[in-house]
């Protein structure tokens, strides 16, 4: 399995506007042999065991249930909401979701490279956390929870991308 790597956001990334606005952004990628569509990537990402655990937590804690069928609808562009997220923007190879509180963004992008002798797909996953403005002081900050959970977030982001890429790689292998 190819390694998950940290990188700068690609120039065309829908998440880029948040970086320009001063939000925290991150970006990870993995390359897989073969061609995978954005819809395949999104469905794989939101139906892994790891994300299903997160979906269960969201269902229990904030009454935002979801199903694999809804994940497939999200992947196909047939719905604008999924669990605790809503579609903020979507292109042929990108999906930008906003959480129901408006504080975080999740972004997925797939880029197929068919140059050379073999096809490869680069899968990107990134996040943004927007600054929160204190109503009393007017000061903007990320807050204590952001700083306390940042290391976990970085590990979790890599795990989510690894889980989705493993699922796609298995599906490609199963077709052969």
Q: pLDDT tens digits, residue range 145-172?
A: 888 999 999 999 999 999 999 999 998 6
CA distances, 94 to each of 36, 104, 134, 154 (Å): 13, 17, 32, 21
pLDDT in tens, 40-49: 999 999 999 9
Q: In what order do the strands lie in the sheet with 104-113?
A: 5-6, 24-33, 120-129, 104-113, 94-99, 85-90, 81-82
Q: Does pLDDT of 39 surpass 90?
A: yes
What CATH code is assigned to 5-171? Answer: 3.30.530
3-class DSSP assignment, residue 23? coil
**What mean pLDDT comes out for the span 28-39?**
97
Rounded Cα distance between 116 and 113, Å, is: 8
Q: Mention every residue, 6+ apart, whose C-beta is less than 8 A from residue 56.
A: none
- Give the pLDDT of residue 139: 87
- Give the pLDDT of residue 142: 87
**What mean pLDDT comes out for the span 129-133?**
90
- Give the pLDDT of residue 175: 53
> What are the residue boundaries of the structural domains of the chain, listed by start?
5-171
Rounded Cα distance between 29 and 13, Å, is: 13
**What mean pLDDT comes out for the span 48-53?**
96
**What mean pLDDT comes out for the span 13-19?**
97
Alpha-carbon dihedral sign for residues 171, 66, 103, 143? negative
């Amino acid at each position: 399995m190819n390694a998950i790597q940290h990188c700068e956001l690609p120039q065309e990334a829908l998440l880029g506007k948040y970086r320009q606005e001063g939000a925290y952004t991150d970006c990870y990628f993995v390359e897989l042999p073969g061609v995978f569509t954005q819809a395949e990537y999104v469905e794989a990402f939101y139906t892994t065991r790891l994300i299903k655990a997160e979906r269960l937590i969201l269902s229990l804690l904030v009454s935002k249930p979801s199903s694999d069928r809804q994940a497939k609808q999200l992947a196909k562009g047939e719905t604008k909401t999924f669990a605790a997220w809503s579609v903020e923007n979507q292109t042929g190879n990108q999906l930008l979701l906003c959480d129901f509180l408006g504080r975080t963004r999740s972004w997925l992008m797939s880029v197929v490279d068919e140059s050379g002798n073999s096809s490869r797909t680069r899968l990107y996953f990134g996040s943004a956390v927007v600054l929160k403005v204190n109503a009393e002081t007017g000061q903007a900050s990320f807050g204590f929870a952001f700083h306390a959970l940042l290391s976990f977030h970085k590990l979790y982001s890599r795990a989510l991308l690894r889980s989705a890429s493993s699922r796609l790689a298995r599906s490609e292998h199963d077709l052969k």
